[in-house]
């Protein structure tokens, strides 16, 4: 039996279309800060900007050379915080090597009400407390939860195996699943015998960034498999999952591309509208 393909492209398009009236009403503005020329970031940013254009959301791309100083970036962040016309902004990761040790200081400076990536301690802390407090959740985990929920895949009571423990995907996703009453197994690069864990998963989500990490023998028949990986192999983009073989074991699976990627973008734009709504509430 071949798995149902969970199309992130179709659902993201539906979500983006549903945002159009709110964009028209609230007129939010999204800003992307990019530093350097990481090829994957170039591609993600193009898609984010294109989606803004598609739904009529104002957007700006601040592109700095990799040699930009920490002080210049701090100044930019403070300017964006103070500019009432800017609804939300993101600092695209990864930062160039030179700036990486200062990453926490840069994120600490971001106004949590404009943090549409949901990466600041304030928004992560709210997300940690309960799903009721998820106001600006991190975009990729939020997109994955939507993809599961909108496809009628139950989370409560299920065993969810998350492979990867990054601050922007694995860790917040694990928390969001637990907040929806899943039993969580969180694996990472120090996990021994990964297969013994993935085989227990009713839902297996791989965000490890390693091509072909998840093979068919690691998946329980009928499990749902979500692939967050975006790995370049030669000229092609592949996920973490051996799609061709895993689709014959799983009941549902996301493709790469066209799975989680578009959902991240839709969730980001959704957060921008939420941020604008909250800013207006605070003013009234």
For ligand GUN, the closer of residues 45 and 250 by Cβ is 45
Task: Tell the smallest beta-carbon distance from residue 268 to ligand GUN (Å).
Answer: 7
User: Which segments of the chain does DSSP mark as H helices, in order?
Assistant: 8-26, 39-55, 70-82, 97-100, 103-109, 121-129, 139-150, 170-178, 194-198, 243-246, 260-283
Dihedral (Cα; 228, 77, 280, 273), 10-degree rounding:
-20
Segment near ligand GUN (CB under 6 A), from 90-98, 99-107, 198-206, 254-262? 90-98
Q: By CB under 6 A, name the one of 146, 198, 206, 264 that touches ligand GUN.
A: 264
Task: Tell the smallest beta-carbon distance from residue 130 to ligand GUN (Å).
Answer: 22
x/- map, 173-202, ligand GUN, by CB under 6 A: ------------------------------
Q: How many residues are recorded in the chain?
A: 284
For ligand GUN, the closer of residues 168 and 187 by Cβ is 168
Secondary structure (3-state) at 59: strand
The answer to whether 48 is a known catalytic residue is: yes
CA–CA dist 162, 260 (Å, integer): 14
**Would you count residue 263 as binding ligand GUN (CB under 6 A)?**
no
User: Which segments of 214-259 does DSSP mark as H helices, in order?
Assistant: 243-246
Secondary structure (3-state) at 13: helix
> Of the listed 29, 34, 92, 227, which one is catalytic?
92
x/- map, 146-175, ligand GUN, by CB under 6 A: ----------------------x-------
**Would you count residue 139 as binding ligand GUN (CB under 6 A)?**
yes
For ligand GUN, the closer of residues 51 and 251 by Cβ is 51
**Would you count residue 11 as binding ligand GUN (CB under 6 A)?**
no
Q: By CB under 6 A, name the one of 117, 134, 240, 242 that touches ligand GUN.
A: 117
Segment near ligand GUN (CB under 6 A), from 88-96, 97-105, 181-189, 208-216? 88-96
Nearest to residue 170, comparing CAs of 89, 114, 155, 178? 178
Phi-psi region for residue 176, left (φ > 0), alpha (ψ -120 to 50) or beta? alpha
Secondary structure (3-state) at 215: coil
> Of the listed 48, 114, 158, 247, which one is catalytic?
48
Nearest to residue 77, comparing CAs of 45, 121, 41, 32? 32
CA–CA dist 154, 179 (Å, integer): 13
For ligand GUN, the closer of residues 198 and 267 by Cβ is 267
**Would you count residue 76 as binding ligand GUN (CB under 6 A)?**
no
Q: What are phi and psi of 116, to 5 degrees?
A: -80, -5
Catalytic positions are 48, 92, 117
Please give the residue ranges that form the binding site for ligand GUN (CB under 6 A). 90-93, 117, 139-140, 168, 264
């Amino acid at each position: 039996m071949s798995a149902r393909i969970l199309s992130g492209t179709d659902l993201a398009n539906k979500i983006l279309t549903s945002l159009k009236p709110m964009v028209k009403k609230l007129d939010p503005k999204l800003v992307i800060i990019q530093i350097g020329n990481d090829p994957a970031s170039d591609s993600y940013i193009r898609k984010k900007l294109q989606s803004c254009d598609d739904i009529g959301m104002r957007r700006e791309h601040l592109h700095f050379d990799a040699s930009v100083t920490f002080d210049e970036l701090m100044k930019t962040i403070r300017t964006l915080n103070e500019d009432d016309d800017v609804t939300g902004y993101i600092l695209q990761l990864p930062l160039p090597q030179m700036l990486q040790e200062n990453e926490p200081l840069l994120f600490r400076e971001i106004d949590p009400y404009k943090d549409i990536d949901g990466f600041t301690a304030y928004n992560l802390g709210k997300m940690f407390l309960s799903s009721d407090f998820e106001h600006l959740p991190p975009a990729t985990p939020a997109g994955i939860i939507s993809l599961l929920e909108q496809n009628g895949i139950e989370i409560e009571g299920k065993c969810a195996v998350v492979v990867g423990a990054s601050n922007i995907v694995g860790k917040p996703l694990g928390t969001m699943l637990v907040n929806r009453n899943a039993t969580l197994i969180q694996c990472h690069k120090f996990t021994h015998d990964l297969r013994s864990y993935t085989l227990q998963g009713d839902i297996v989500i791989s965000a490890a960034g390693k091509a072909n990490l998840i093979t068919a023998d690691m998946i329980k028949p009928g499990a749902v498999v979500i692939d967050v990986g975006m790995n370049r192999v030669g000229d092609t983009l592949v996920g973490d999952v051996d799609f061709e073989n895993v689709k014959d074991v799983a009941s549902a699976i996301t493709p790469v591309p066209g799975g989680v990627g578009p959902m991240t973008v839709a969730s980001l734009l959704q957060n921008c509208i939420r941020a604008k709504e909250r800013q207006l509430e605070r003013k009234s």
